[in-house]
Amino acid sequence: MTGEERKAQIVRVATDLFAKKGFKGTTTREIALKAGISEAVIFKHFARKEDLYSAIIDSRCSDNLGQPRLMSILKGKKGKVVFREVASYLITEHQKDSSFLRLLTYSALEQHGLSELFIKTKGLELFGFLEAHIKELMDEGVLRKADPAVSAAAFMGMVLHYSISQELYGLKRYYKWPVEHVVASFVDIFFEGMRRR
């Protein structure tokens, strides 16, 4: 394997183990064993734990050029399209592979640094973008006046709670809706609730 291939393999194995067993239940020795390498190889590629955590986040959130995938999709989009894109992207990603959602949940519950790193490097960027977009829609008179940050949190809350309840709590065993239906419903609920009267 090339150095980059080995690095990617370590990230894949670590992500899988952390998502299944949490951070407290996973050792670097176990990661090395599952990857078929020595612990020294892990430390060669990731001198600090934070470097491994950053690589895990980047592997799930960034494209080949290191650009955040979701933010790239949102570039130039306006109005309801922004909200449709955000909801569709997140719900679809979580349906395809819920391991990152599980990983962030473990991290938050175990008070581990990965979830904080994710919020600082990716989460706040998306929230800031949505907040600014909502404020713009309020200034244009499309949406009624409210706290833009709380409004962004309300929309994201719908989307993330849906993914968590479907993928982690198992609600999808009882309710299976097409992604397009869920996305359209969330966007309508948000815009109708926020519509200027």
Residue 6 token pair: 């080995």
Number of other residues whose CB lies within 10 A of the CB of residue 40: 9
Q: For tokens 């980047």, name the residue.
A: 58
Output the pLDDT for position 50: 80
State the maximum Cα–Cα separation within the chain, in Å, rounded to a whole number. 64
How many CA atoms lie within 13 Å of 163's alpha carbon, on the beta-carbon side?
25
Rounded (to 5) percent helix, strand, coil in the chain: 75, 0, 25
Q: Of the candidates 173, 163, 21, which has an alpha carbon nearest to the alpha carbon of residue 95?
A: 163
Q: In terms of CATH, what superfamily is 3-47? A: Homeodomain-like (1.10.10.60)
Q: What does the domain layout of the chain look like in residue ranges?
A: 3-47, 69-194
Residue 196 to residue 112: CA distance in whole angstroms: 41
Beta bridge partners of 68: 62
Q: Domain spanning 69-194: which CATH class is it, in words?
A: mainly alpha
Measure Cα distances from 11 to 95, 114, 171 in Å.
Answer: 20, 13, 29
DSSP state of 47: S
Output the pLDDT for position 75: 93
Burial label for 166, CB within 10 Å (0-12, 13-18, 19+), is buried
Q: For tokens 């001198």, name the residue.
A: 47
Q: What is the pLDDT along the chain (197 residues), one digit of tens a residue?
A: 788 889 999 999 999 998 888 888 888 899 999 999 999 999 999 988 788 888 999 988 888 777 889 999 999 999 999 999 999 999 999 999 998 898 899 888 888 888 999 999 899 999 999 999 999 999 999 999 999 999 999 999 999 999 999 999 999 999 999 999 999 999 999 999 988 66
Cβ contact 68:61 at 8 Å? yes
Residue 91 token pair: 């719900």
